[in-house]
Amino acid sequence: MFKSIQIKILLLIIILSVLMLAGIEYFFIFQMNQINAGSGEITSQIRIAKTVAIVVLASFAAISSAIIIFASRVIISPISKLIKNAKKIAERRGSNERR
């Protein structure tokens, strides 16, 4: 799917970041449930916290996707082309030296 190691690294970092955010938000909501599960006010606060958590995770995923696309097109692609061209030049020099 993804050939470039740089994109794989970016994806891994983003996935780990989303998991960390989700873990923190889950822990926060779990603690709120433990404090006072019967109170109507706490229940509404938990619903709000869940909504905020979903919005934060969705926006983080969208922003991260935009960063991956930007990094892939603007930064990583030219570097990959440069590496391929450098390999071609090195191969030509190597074949010329053998003659």
Q: What is the pLDDT of residues 19-55, one digit of tens each?
A: 888 887 777 777 777 766 556 667 777 778 778 878 8
Q: What is the pLDDT of residues 56-99, one digit of tens each?
A: 888 888 888 787 777 777 777 788 888 889 988 888 877 766 65
Number of Cβ atoms within 10 Å of the Cβ of 84 = 10
* Cα 79 to chain centroid, rounded: 20
pLDDT for residue 29: 73
- Cα dihedral angle (69, 5, 84, 96), rounded to 10 degrees? 170
| Token pair in block for residue 1 | 């799917």
Amino acid at 74: V
pLDDT for residue 97: 65
| Token pair in block for residue 16 | 């780990």
Query: Is pTM, for the whole model, over 0.85?
Result: no
Quote the CA–CA distance of 9 and 7 in Å, as a whole number: 5
Measured in degrees and rounded to the nearest 5, phi and psi for residue 51 equal -60, -45
